[in-house]
Amino acid sequence: MTNDQRSTTNDSEKRIIHDYTKEELGREIQPAFRAKQIYNWIYHKHADSFEEMANLPKTMRQELAKKYELHPLEMVSKQESRDGSIKYLFRLHDGHTVEAVLLLMKEAQYHEDGTLKHHRRYTVCISSQVGCKVGCAFCLTAKGGFIRNLSAGEIVDQVLEIYKDQNIPSNHRVNLVYMGMGEPLDNLDNVAKAVKIFADMDGMSISPNRQTISTSGLSSKIEKLGRMDLGVNLAISLHAVDDELREKLMPINKAYNIASIIEAVRNFPVNQRKKVLFEYLVIKHVNDDIASAKKLVKLLNGLKAKVNLIYFNPYPGTEFERPEPEDMKRFQEYLLSKGVLCTIRESKGLDISAACGQLREQKLSEGVGR
């Protein structure tokens, strides 16, 4: 087990129990059926201690407490927006911090007699690394550089802690997007393992088709993810339609140019009812013109693609500006007129530290975390 998969508490080394798939836990703990019981306590009953696991023998509970860490993350800050979105800052065992965001997509709906018709619908945006190697010019996370990968358990516990904080029932399904801090495909093994842990029916039962992995375009890793056949959705952070501009915005384009990304996407296994999502961060006077829209249509020709236009969220010190709504609408209408499915992502959390990495940077300046 790597250093990324361990947590240290009271000077004794413990393993993060969330790092284990149910099958792995069944090989560690005998008899193996106990793994299913432990999963139930962690992911369904949201147990805060091994002592609460009443259907386990007392000696087993004591041994589990000695060997395993049940709290790999500590919530150190939470900011709530008027629109219902909540940004969380979690501290890891080594003092570093990562962000996750709960996005309220739709309010609960009720029948005329007052009974519940539909639960609230949530999307949870989670981080996969502390910092990031990609170095996008518009991204605040990149300013602090790369520190380390998150273990599978540290990825999983972001969602579990949000469930606990918001009293979200264990059987209430959310959508997950790996779009927080870090490049998910740069930490592919742990991300893939987290996908499986989330999807376990004895765990959180979040189906892979509710999980979207976003990448800045690591072509070879897109191909590897495709071969894993996890059943997840794929999102490409494109943001530019020619290599010259993309290299300025995203230096990784020098290693993985647009042509290689498009080729990898063509070979990616896509559910017949799904499309590959192309995220296009719109920056004022940089990539918001109709000429760019025309190039984008040509680029996506023949792909099962959907374009998501995203308003750039300014943060202190950035050189970039938020685009005008009319330019966003014009860009969208052009794509739609050419048969490209295109939506404009509703901006959320503008009254809080909305940009990815902003809350972390704010708290670091206050001496919280590393």
- The average confidence (pLDDT) of the chain is 90
Strands (DSSP E) found in the chain: 6-9, 12-16, 68-69, 74-80, 86-91, 97-106, 109-110, 116-118, 121-125, 129-131, 146-149, 175-178, 211-215, 233-237, 276-282, 305-311, 341-344
Total structural domains in the chain?
A: 2
Is 139 labelled a binding residue? yes
* Shared domain check, 255 and 157: yes
Tell me whether residue 89 is in a domain: yes
Is 237 labelled a binding residue? yes
pLDDT digits (tens, 9 = 90+) for 190-213: 999 999 999 999 999 999 999 999
* Shared domain check, 330 and 313: yes
Tell me whether residue 166 is in a domain: yes
The CATH number of residue 40's host domain is 1.10.150.530
Domain boundary among 19, 39, 69: 69
Please check whether residue 181 is in contact with residue 98, taking contact to mean a CB–CB distance below 8 angstroms. Answer: yes
* Shared domain check, 170 and 33: no
Residue 175 pLDDT greater than 80, yes or no: yes
CA neighbor of 198 nearest in space, from 230, 225, 166: 230
Domain boundary among 69, 90, 115: 69
Residue 331 pLDDT greater than 70, yes or no: yes
Tell me whether residue 370 is in a domain: no
**Over residues 337-349, mean pLDDT:** 87
Is 239 labelled a binding residue? yes
Tell me which residue range forms the domain holding 221. 74-365
d(CA 22, CA 35): 6
pLDDT digits (tens, 9 = 90+) for 106-160: 776 777 877 766 677 899 999 999 999 999 988 887 777 899 999 999 999 999 9
pLDDT digits (tens, 9 = 90+) for 56-72: 999 999 999 999 999 99
The CATH number of residue 289's host domain is 3.20.20.70
Residues annotated as part of the active site: 99, 356
